[in-house]
Structure formats: structure tokens, C-alpha cells
């Protein structure tokens, strides 16, 4: 009888452990269908279930997404008051957009384009090209023509809408079959790699990453709490809002601080401070600048002249062995250059990080009162090649910039004679003397 009671008790305990698993939250799946009409107007409610991405020249492009069991929709909206085309050139010489999608690319590998990489480009006149890569890393142009809409049989379904003096928008829909996958496979993988390029004629061209390296594209997660573009799967331990008001920032390492008007004659910007700290799942970077003139009028090429900041990051293990090296540029429109110091195929990449600005005023508008801008960014350890945050560390040069290229370097760095080049100017090329950030 006693043995039977023990058996019953063990069974009850086993059932207690199994029951929560059975009654746990059901894994999220793609809806059977989203109600989207591909007409070039990005207005349907389904587009707002996943956070959008702002990108393009001077932050003029907003990309939205929606997915169901049939395929994936991209809704692209471009703000552009001056729509222009090249009379002598083709599609790539006019105001145009490019969307590259690869459902099989692995962000942990350095693979090139292949048969799973699809590229669709269109300009404001309706000219389009549809290409798919081959296994030799070459683009094979399948279709090129001019149309405001496509039915989506041999190409993705597509529609373009142009509003004079305002901009243009487009919708692009791929079935999972066209992309070489299934809804079930995408639910399991829950990740798509995609790339955005934007030309603003007579201004500049902006690309999210190296088009030949899908592993460095934007990572789009479709399901779960961390759905969206480039959000680290492990959430941050603070709110990323650009305000830097959590207690963690009070003890963070100060990587740069000073006053612009004291450093540069005639400068109107005031105090600035930059900080960084090692958290539970990644490294946090923060910047605050008193700025009465929020100007960022330049495109990606000379974006270093806009209000913003640049990070030169060198990662080391406890023995001083280098693990990674990066140079990242942000202006008030978002990330501009993101490159590995080593260069090569994967040198240019979309940052796998969560970031947010807190801008008090309006960028490129002197009709209102500007006071400041702030910035916070959370980068997971894996993106920095950090395997042991207790012993690995950073050497970080964080330059803060005001309009027209007043780049303020840390006082300890700029006042060190060892960091001067042959002309006597301060050089950025001495990472051994960068400020150190560690746990």
C-alpha cells in the first residue's frame, strides 16, 4: 500500500511538470491571409503589426512589412518633394528604390548572393528590373520593362503610386514559393534577410549593406515579441528611448565629454557627453548633446558633416588579442556607414542593434526651437564578437559631431602628443590609446 502511494505521488509530480508545458502559450504562426490590396498605397492595418524601418537618403524612406501563409508584402514610402529622372541615363540614374530579399541567407556566415537572392528595382517613371542571382555570384536579369503594376506571375506582384511634390510609394509581394521556401519553413526559421537601396537624384545614394553579402543584410523577424528589423533576440535591460535616464547610466563609463563652443570658435552647440557600459546581454552606448541647430542636410556620402557621432570600436579578449574592429557612423537620420576595419565582402553591413533618438526640435528646420538630441543603442555581445563579457573589453573612440564637421574627440585622446600625425593634427589611427570600456 505504501509503495502504491509513492507511485501515485510520483505520477502527480510528473503531471504537474508536464501540465504547464501543455498549457503554455501557443507558438505564434503566420495568419492564413492578410487583407492587403497591392495598389501602391501602404495603408492597410496589417502593415502596422510589425515595427517599420526608417532608412534611405536623409531618412526619407519608410519600409513596412506584412506576412501570411501565402507570402510576404513590402510597403515602401519615400518622401521626396523633387522627383527627378536622368534624361540621358537609365533607371539607376534617376530617383529609384531597390529591394533585395534572401530567405535562405545565414547572418552567421559570409556567403555571397545565390539563387535564393531576389532583386527588384523600380524608378518613379515605372521602369523596373527583376533579377535573381546564380550560384556563381552573378545577377541574372529576368525581366526589365516599364509598368506601374505587375500581376505577380513570373515577377513579384507590384504597384507604384507617385504623388507630385510629395514622393512615391510602392508595394511588392512575393509568394513563399517564388522565394524558394514555404510558410512552415518561415515560421520555423522566423527570419528573412533583406536589403534596401535608395537614390535621391542629384543628392546621393544610400544602401543598407553590401548587396553582394546577404549575411550582412537587415534581419527581419516576423513573429514573436522581438519582431521587426535588426532587433537582438535577447531584449535590453533598459528602455532604449534616447533619454539615458536609467540608473545604469549614472555609473557608466564616460567615453567623451566637453563643450563645443569652448573647443571650436563660433560654435553654437553646447555641452555634450557620451557613455557606454557592459550589460547583461550586450553593450550600451549613449550620447547627449545640447544643440540649438539640428542640422543634417547632407546625404550618406558627406554625412560625417551632419550632427551625429562616429564610433571606432576595437574588441579584445583578456589577453589583449583582437576579436573584432568596426567603424560606425550615425547622423540624426540613422545609421550611415557600418564597416569592419578589415574590409572585404562583409565589410559593409546593417547594424544588428536596437537604437533610438530623442530629438528636441526638428531636424533641418529653423522655424522652431531646437534644444538637444540624445541617442541610445544596445548591441548584443555576439555582434561584437564578445564571448566572455566578464573579461573581454572595448577600446572605443567616440567622436561627437555638430553641423559642418566639428568632430569632438575625447580630451584625453586629442591632447596626447602620441596621437598626432606627421602634420601635427590629431589622428584617429592609434587605437591603442582609445578609452577603455569593460565590466
Sheet holding 354-360, edge to edge: 253-259, 271-278, 282-290, 372-380, 354-360
Mean pLDDT estimate for the chain:
92
Average pLDDT over residues 396-403: 96
pLDDT digits (tens, 9 = 90+) for 228-237: 999 999 999 9
Say what the pLDDT of residue 246 is.
97
pLDDT, tens digit (0-9, with 9 covering 90-100), for 141-159: 999 999 999 999 999 999 9
Query: 397 and 430 in contact (C-beta within 8 Å)?
Result: no
* Inside any domain, residue 274: yes
In percent, how much of the chain has pLDDT > 90?
86
Q: Quick check: is 18 in a domain? A: no
Residues 156 and 256 in one domain: no
Residue 415: CB atoms within 10 A of its CB come to 10
Q: Is residue 8 part of a domain?
A: no
CATH of residue 158: 2.60.40.1190
| Number of compact structural domains in the chain | 2
Enclosing H/E stretch for 414: helix 411-414
Average pLDDT score over residue span 365-393? 96
Q: How confident is the model at residue 18 (pLDDT cuts 50, 70, 90)?
A: very low
- The grid coordinates listed for 244 are 539615458
Question: Residue 424 has what pLDDT?
Answer: 84
- Predicted confidence band of residue 13 (pLDDT cuts 50, 70, 90): very low
Please tell me whether residues 373 and 324 are part of one structural domain: yes
Residue by residue, DSSP assigns 94-112 as SSEEEEEEESS--TTS---
Give residue 195's domain range: 45-226
Is pLDDT of 344 > 90?
no
* Co-location of 209 and 316 in the same domain: no
Lowest mean pLDDT among 6-15, 53-62, 73-82: 6-15
Shared-domain flag, residues 64 and 175: yes
Q: Which of 226, 256, 277 is the last residue of a domain?
A: 226
* pTM for the structure as a whole: 0.91
pLDDT value, residue 317: 97
Q: Is residue 393 part of a domain?
A: yes
Q: Would you state the torsion angle of the CA atoms of residues 229, 232, 238, 241, taken in this order, to the nearest 10 degrees?
A: -20
Residues 117 and 222 in one domain: yes
Look up the CATH number of the domain holding residue 359.
Answer: 2.60.40
pLDDT band of residue 406 (cuts 50, 70, 90) is confident
Cell of 192: 528573412
Beta carbons within 8 Å of 323's beta carbon, 6+ residues apart: 315, 316, 317, 384, 385, 386, 387, 392
* The last residue of a domain, from among 167, 192, 226: 226
Question: Are 207 and 110 in a shared domain?
Answer: yes
Q: Is residue 389 part of a domain?
A: yes
Mean pLDDT of 53-75: 98
User: Please, which pLDDT band fits residue 6 given cuts at 50, 70 and 90?
Assistant: very low
pLDDT surpassing 90 at residue 25: no
Are 114 and 198 part of one and the same domain? yes
Average pLDDT over residues 299-315: 96
The answer to which of 1-15, 199-213, 326-340, 400-414 has the lowest mean pLDDT is 1-15
**Do 221 and 302 belong to one domain?**
no
Q: Is residue 27 part of a domain?
A: no
Q: Is residue 235 part of a domain?
A: no
pLDDT at 12: 39
Residues 259 and 198 placed together within one structural domain of the fold: no
Residues 420 and 368 occupy one common structural domain: yes
What is the reported pLDDT for 26?
A: 66
Whether residue 136 is found in the same domain as residue 264: no
Task: Tell me which of 171, 197, 226 is where a domain ends.
Answer: 226
Q: What is the pLDDT of residues 161-197, one digit of tens each?
A: 999 999 999 999 999 999 999 999 999 999 999 999 9
Please give the pLDDT value at position 8. 36
Q: Are residues 158 and 82 in the same domain?
A: yes
Q: Is 418 within a domain?
A: yes
Amino acid at each position: 500500500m505504501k509503495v502504491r502511494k509513492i507511485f501515485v505521488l510520483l505520477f502527480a509530480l510528473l503531471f504537474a511538470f508536464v501540465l504547464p508545458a501543455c498549457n503554455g502559450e501557443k507558438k505564434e504562426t503566420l495568419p492564413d491571409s492578410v487583407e492587403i490590396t497591392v495598389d501602391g498605397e501602404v495603408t492597410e492595418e496589417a502593415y502596422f503589426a510589425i515595427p517599420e524601418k526608417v532608412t534611405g537618403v536623409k531618412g526619407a524612406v519608410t519600409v513596412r512589412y506584412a506576412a501570411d501563409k501565402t507570402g510576404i508584402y513590402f510597403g515602401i514610402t519615400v518622401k521626396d518633394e523633387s522627383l527627378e529622372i536622368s534624361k540621358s541615363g537609365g533607371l539607376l540614374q534617376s530617383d529609384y528604390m531597390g529591394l533585395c530579399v534572401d530567405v535562405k541567407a545565414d547572418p552567421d556566415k559570409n556567403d555571397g548572393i545565390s539563387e535564393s537572392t531576389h532583386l527588384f528595382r523600380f524608378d518613379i517613371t515605372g521602369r523596373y528590373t527583376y533579377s535573381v542571382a546564380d550560384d556563381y555570384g552573378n545577377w541574372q536579369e529576368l525581366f526589365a520593362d516599364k509598368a506601374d503594376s505587375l500581376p505577380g506571375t513570373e515577377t513579384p506582384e507590384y504597384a507604384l503610386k507617385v504623388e507630385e511634390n510629395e514622393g512615391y510609394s510602392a508595394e511588392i509581394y512575393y509568394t513563399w514559393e517564388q522565394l524558394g521556401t514555404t510558410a512552415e519553413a518561415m515560421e520555423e526559421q522566423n527570419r528573412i534577410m533583406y536589403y534596401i537601396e535608395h537614390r535621391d537624384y542629384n543628392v546621393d545614394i544610400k544602401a543598407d549593406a553590401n548587396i553582394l553579402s546577404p549575411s550582412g543584410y537587415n534581419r527581419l523577424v516576423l513573429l514573436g515579441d522581438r519582431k521587426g528589423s535588426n532587433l537582438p533576440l535577447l531584449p535590453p535591460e533598459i528602455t532604449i528611448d534616447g533619454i539615458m535616464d536609467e540608473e545604469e547610466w549614472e555609473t557608466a563609463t564616460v567615453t567623451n565629454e566637453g563643450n563645443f563652443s569652448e573647443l571650436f570658435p563660433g560654435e553654437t552647440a553646447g555641452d555634450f557627453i557620451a557613455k557606454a557600459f557592459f550589460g547583461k546581454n550586450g553593450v550600451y552606448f549613449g550620447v547627449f548633446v545640447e544643440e540649438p541647430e539640428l542640422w543634417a542636410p547632407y546625404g550618406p556620402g558627406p554625412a560625417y558633416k551632419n550632427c551625429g557621432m562616429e564610433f571606432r570600436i576595437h574588441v579584445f579578449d583578456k589577453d589583449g588579442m583582437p576579436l573584432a574592429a568596426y567603424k560606425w557612423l550615425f547622423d540624426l537620420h540613422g545609421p550611415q556607414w557600418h564597416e569592419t576595419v578589415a574590409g572585404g565582402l562583409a565589410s559593409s553591413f546593417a547594424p544588428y542593434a536596437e537604437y533610438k533618438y530623442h530629438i528636441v526640435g526638428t531636424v533641418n528646420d529653423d522655424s522652431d526651437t531646437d534644444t538637444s538630441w540624445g541617442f541610445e543603442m544596445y548591441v548584443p555581445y555576439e555582434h561584437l564578437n564578445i564571448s566572455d563579457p566578464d573579461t573581454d573589453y572595448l577600446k572605443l573612440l567616440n567622436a561627437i559631431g555638430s553641423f559642418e564637421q566639428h568632430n569632438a574627440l575625447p580630451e584625453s585622446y586629442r591632447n596626447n602628443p602620441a596621437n598626432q600625425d606627421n602634420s601635427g593634427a590629431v589622428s584617429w589611427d592609434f587605437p591603442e590609446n582609445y578609452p577603455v570600456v569593460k565590466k
